[in-house]
Structure 1
Amino acid sequence: MSSPIAKNSTPSPTPATPAAFRIRKARRGDVEALSTLLRELGYTEGSDTQTVHWVTSHPEIEIYVACDLQDRPVGMLSLSHRPQLRLRGRIATVDELVVTEPWRRRGVGRALLLHAIERARVLSVKRLELAARQDTGTETGRFYEACGFVADCMVFRHAGS
C-alpha cells in the first residue's frame, strides 16, 4: 500500500461507482490501514506488523481490502478457509468485515462480501459462515441477511482465551 489511512485523517469519499473503489488482496504494507480498520471495528489494539505479515502469508487466510482511487484501504474483509470432517469438504468463514465510517452505505461492504462469496465458490467450500460480534446491531444483521446470510447457530468461546 502506498499510503495508509492516517490516524487523524479521513479519506474524502466519492459516491461508490465501480471506479470509486477497487478490491485487492491485502499486502504487508497495509499494516497501519488494517490496524486502523480493526480499531474502527471495535478492537482497540488493532493489529501489529508481525501478525499482519503472518496472516497475509498464511495459506488458509485471505484478507481483501477495498481501496479508494489513491489505493488507500477504506474497508477490509478477512476470509479463512479450512477442511472440515463433518462437511466432508472445506468450510470458509468471514472473520472480519469493516468499512470506514465515511465510506459506509456506498456499496463497499456488499462488494467485499460478494468477493468473498465468489472466492468461496472458487474454493468449492461446502459452507460459508460469517462471524459477527455479539453486539452487532439489527441494522448490521439486516445487511448480512440482505447479502444472503442467515443466523443459524451460536458460537461459544472459551472464557480463558
Structure 2
Amino acid sequence: MSQPIVRTVSAVAGADAPAFRIRRARRGDAEAMALLLRELGYPQGTDQQTVHWVVSHPEIEIFVAGDPQDRPVGMISFSHRPQLRLRGRVATVDELVVTETWRRRGVGRALIKQILERCKVLSVKQLQLVSPMASTPETRSFYAACGFSEIDSGVFRHLETEEGRR
C-alpha cells in the first residue's frame, strides 16, 4: 500500500470551528462508518467483515474525516479500475456522507479534493458519481460546485443474491 495520507484541514464555519483530519479508513472505523451509512439512508449500515474486505481491496479506497478526537464525521469511498475504451482508469465515487452536525464546514469538499488528488496519482481519466441523494437541489448544487456535471444516460439493473430473494 502507498504512503499513509493524513491531512489536517481547518473547518470553514468560523474561526472557532474545530479542524478535522482526512485520513485513510482503518478496520477499526467499521462502527463509525456504519453509523454514517445509516445517516445516508442505508438502514443496515455495514458490518465489520465488509469493512475489512473493502478496506483491504486494491481497487477501493476509503477516506474519513476525523474530528479533533479522530472520530469519523465524514467518509468517502471510491473504486477505480482499468477501462478499455478510455485506455486508462475510470473511478466511481461510491459513497460520500458527512454527519449532520459537521455539514457546511468544508468536510465534504475536503473529501472530494482528497479523491481528486488520488485520481491524479492513479492517472484516472474519468470520475463518475451515481447517487440517489443527488436528486435534491442542495446535493446537485454541492456536486456542481465540486466540478461534477449532471448527465442522464444511465441504465441500471439491480441484482440480488440468492439470500436477498428469500
TM range (shorter): 0.7 to 0.9
Specify the code of the residue in structure 2 equivalent to 1:129: Q
Distance 1:14 1:127 in 2: 29
Paired residues, number: 149
Distance 1:120 1:106, change over 3 A: same
Q: Distance in 2 between matches of 1:117 and 1:153?
A: 22
Query: In the TM superposition, what is the alpha-carbon distance from 1:89 to its structure 2 partner?
Result: 0.6
- Return 5+ residue gaps in structure 1 as ranges: 1-12
Q: Deviations over 1:4-60 (max 9, x none)?
A: xxxxxxxxx994779610100000000000000000011110001100000000000
Amino acid corresponding to residue 121 of structure 1 in structure 2: K
Residue 115 of structure 1 aligns with which residue? 114
- Alignment deviations for residues 94-126 of structure 1 (CA, whole Å, 9 cap, x no partner): 110000000000000000001111110111011
* TM-score calculated relative to the size of structure 1: 0.86
1:96–1:159 distance in 2 versus 1, CA, 3 Å: closer
Cα distance between partner residues in 2 of 1:89 and 1:136: 29
Rounded to whole Å, the distance in 1 between the matches of 2:69 and 2:62 is 19
Could you say which residue in structure 2 is the equivalent of 1:136? 135
> What is the rounded CA distance, in whole Å, between the counterparts of 1:26 and 1:79 in structure 2?
12
Structure 2 length normalisation: TM-score? 0.83
What's the offset of the Cα at 1:131?
Answer: 1.9
SS of the residue aligned with 1:30?
Answer: helix
Alpha-carbon distance change, 134 to 105 in structure 1, aligned in 2, over 3 angstroms: closer
Find the aligned partners of 2:102 and 2:43 in 1 and give their Cα distance: 20
- Residue ranges of structure 2 left out of the alignment (5+ in a row): 1-10, 161-166
Please state how far the C-alpha of 1:129 moved relative to its aligned partner. Answer: 1.0
**Contact 2:12-2:106 within 8 A present in 1 as well:** no
- Aligned partners of 2:30 and 2:47 also within 8 Å: yes
Change (3 A) 1:54 1:110: same
Look up the match of 2:29.
Answer: 30
- Indicate the residue corresponding to 1:97 in structure 2: 96
Give distance in 2, aligned partners of 1:19 and 1:29: 23
Is the 8 Å Cα contact of residues 16 and 107 (structure 1) preserved in structure 2? Answer: no
Q: Please list, as runs of the form range in 1=range in 2, the aligned pairs for 1:53-72 lying within 5 A after superposition.
A: 53-72=52-71
Q: Which has the higher relative contact order, 1 or 2, with Cα contacts under 8 A spaced 6 or more apart?
A: 1
